[in-house]
Amino acid sequence: FLADLRRGNAALTEAMLAAALDQFLAATQSILPKTATFTPSAVVPFGARQQLLVLIGSIEAEVMQAHAACLDELNTMLLSCGINHPAGFMRTSMNLRHALTFSPHISLLRQANPEPVVIDKDSLGVLQLQLADPEHDLRTS
């Protein structure tokens, strides 16, 4: 990640990045809602080469607003790292190129040899998803 950010600021140090990340995490910790409802609508190929099969759907406006707020904080973090044009940088970053858009989906599988996959599901119901709580380590549950 540091090497990627250095494309935007060659003088960026690990200490500068660590401080910026600390501020970013502190600012975004309370933004995400504790729960959200994902309403599935279709199973489709996804990604630049369509090698993923995903369940796409819609999510509550509160989550969309949280994404926008987190994106604002990411812009602030990149500016604090000396990257003058965060949106342009993100578009060319392997790490951040998907941050500018929000496509609610659940990845189901990745194809090694991409061939068209067709799954016809008219009604998939509603899934309740619990977003990860940053204070709860899921690895110890």
Phi-psi category of residue 131: left, alpha or beta, with phi > 0 → left and psi -120 to 50 → alpha: beta
Structural domain range at position 100: 2-113+125-130
Confidence band for 32, pLDDT divided at 50, 70 and 90: confident
pLDDT at 132 over 80: no
Express the helix, strand and coil content of the chain in percent, nearest 5 each.
Answer: 35, 20, 45
- The sign of the torsion formed by the CA atoms of 99, 101, 107, 109 equals negative
pLDDT at 9 over 70: yes
- The verdict on residue 137 lying in a domain is no
pLDDT mean over 91-96: 93
- The verdict on residue 19 lying in a domain is yes
Q: Of 30-39, 51-60, 78-87, which one has max mean pLDDT?
A: 78-87
DSSP states of 84-112: S-HHHHHHH-TTTTTTT----EEEEEE-S
- The count of domains in the chain is 1
Amino acid at residue number 43: V
pLDDT at 125 over 60: no
- The verdict on residue 120 lying in a domain is no
pLDDT at 75 over 90: yes
Of residues 64, 63, 55, the one with CA closest to residue 125: 55
- The verdict on residue 22 lying in a domain is yes
pLDDT at 34: 86
pTM: 0.70
Residue 43 DSSP class: E
Question: Cα 37 from chain centroid?
Answer: 17
- The verdict on residue 141 lying in a domain is no
- The verdict on residue 135 lying in a domain is no
- For residue 106, the cross-strand partners are 55
- The verdict on residue 138 lying in a domain is no
The Cα 59–Cα 37 span in angstroms is: 6
What number of helices (H) and strands (E) belong to the chain?
4, 4
pLDDT mean over 22-32: 92
- The verdict on residue 101 lying in a domain is yes
